[in-house]
Structure 1
Amino acid sequence: MLTSVLDLIFPKVCYTCTSILNDNELHLCTKCRHQLPVTNFHKTNDPTVEKMFYGRVKVERATALLRFTKKGIVQKLLHQLKYKGQEDIGLFLGDWLGEELKSIEHYASVDLIIPVPLHNRKKRKRGYNQVERFGKHLALALNTTYCDDVLLKTTDTKSQVNKNRFARWNDKTELFTLHNTHKLNNKHILLIDDIITTGATLEACVIALNKATNVKVSIATMAIA
């Protein structure tokens, strides 16, 4: 009864179109859920994401759940996650992708899930890392460990919006370092982030992770631009 009263006073709305959700809807209305542009990369063995890293760093496998377009539904969703404190979006996407990856042998062999880190200053300002719940729920689905204390960001950088690949890569060199490196040795790591654009940030993270002994790195993101 209390829940019903609270829903009446503070109705739950769709994160993208702001329409009031029905009792059987969670986070997104049915219409918006069906409009989400899924990639199915991991289902079809599509190498689109992996090709972004050819000749740059070795990536075992890579996927992204959704396609991102400017002013599109995925941009609205990630904006709510990243800037409006709607962390449940990460939970929702983590459960979704995790359910799909757990039946794929390659991803089922992951030992650790590691997020692209935020600098401590930015994390204090925002209050959270937007990929934390995404990663934790991926870890639950894959029956593995979420680990956010090994890959650290040492320099606070400005927004990467409107920068080309070289500018992004140049900004990322030597910005990531490892801590508790022993946790990584001989492990298959799934590196996660919210969105992949040029791949420069993920590339720099892979370079850092490869400083550990005998690691394999795969990648999974919420979206790809």
Structure 2
Amino acid sequence: MFRFIRTLVADFTDLLFPVLCLGCSRSLGDNEKLLCTHCRINLPETNQHRLPYDQNLLNKFAGKVPIHFVASFVLYSKAGTVQKLIHQIKYKGQKEAAKEIAGWYGYQLKSESELIKEIDVIIGVPLHKSRLQQRGYNQADWIAEGLSEALNVPARTDILIRKRFKESQTRKNRLERWENVKTVFAVPNPEEIEGKNIVIVDDVLTTGSTIEACAIELLRAGCKSVGVLTLATTR
């Protein structure tokens, strides 16, 4: 009887407040999570984890900082499903979605890629404490947590810090982005990462300026290598 009542209440709640697909806003079915089957199947996956030394991605960092590998889960395009997903994750409180999707990617990496074998620590690109307070969460940390659980590699939020608040990178070009972040990050306890292989994670890889600034500080602090994993990348 109680099970029947719980099911009835749940069905009534779903009728009044349906759970919607984060990609197309249609109601999700019983076995769907975050995305409807159509949006999930049609995610523009890059398969870059199979080609981690693809020069197109590494060129974003060439001559600036030695990045061991770069891979992103899906391609980002304006007005596409991935843009909608990232917007929901970054600005609409969908932090659990960041973790869930990162988990999808993590299990894909675990079963199809050699990248994860030498990873010691996963680090999300940090937010300044004022931005963190404003937003309430750091989506990169939730992405790191999703990857961490799937890959069984520790995620740390205390290794890399953002020293100063900087304005949004969204409308800046490559040079402006670099000038905006080049002295922003720091590693307060270098002994924590000495000789370790670090992976930096973020939501979207665009020019690579922010990750470049993070990698410089991590390498300067004595880590062995830096790799990059993101949920999405621009073409």
Aligning the two structures, in what range does the TM-score lie when normalised by the shorter sequence? over 0.9
Partner of 2:32: 25
Deviation (angstroms), 1:214: 4.1
Partner of 2:140: 131
Q: Percentage identity across aligned positions?
A: 39
**How many correspondences in the alignment?**
225
Partner of 2:91: 83
Q: Name the CA distance, whole Å, in 1 between partners of 2:215 and 2:170.
A: 21
Q: Deviations over 1:178-208 (max 9, x none)?
A: 1222211111001001111111000000011
Alignment of 1:157-196 (within 5 A): 157-196=166-205
Partner of 1:51: 59
The match for 2:215 among 203, 206, 223 is 206
DSSP-derived class of the 1:192 partner: strand
DSSP-derived class of the 2:22 partner: coil
Q: Name the CA distance, whole Å, in 1 between partners of 2:123 and 2:207.
A: 20
Q: Name the CA distance, whole Å, in 1 between partners of 2:133 and 2:11.
A: 34
Q: Name the CA distance, whole Å, in 1 between partners of 2:11 and 2:96.
A: 20
Alignment of 1:149-164 (within 5 A): 149-164=158-173
> What TM-score do you get using the length of structure 2 for normalisation?
0.91
Q: Name the CA distance, whole Å, in 2 between partners of 1:142 and 1:131.
A: 16
The answer on whether the counterparts of 1:209 and 1:215 sit within 8 Å (CA) in structure 2 is no
> What TM-score do you get using the length of structure 1 for normalisation?
0.95
Higher-Rg member (1/2): 2
Deviation (angstroms), 1:66: 0.9
The answer on whether the counterparts of 1:39 and 1:67 sit within 8 Å (CA) in structure 2 is yes
Q: Name the CA distance, whole Å, in 1 between partners of 2:106 and 2:84.
A: 22
Closer, same or farther: CA 201–182 of 1 in aligned 2, 3 Å: same
The answer on whether the counterparts of 1:41 and 1:48 sit within 8 Å (CA) in structure 2 is no
The answer on whether the counterparts of 1:101 and 1:108 sit within 8 Å (CA) in structure 2 is no
Gaps of 5+ in 1: none
Point out the more displaced range, 209-218 or 24-33: 209-218
Closer, same or farther: CA 136–214 of 1 in aligned 2, 3 Å: closer
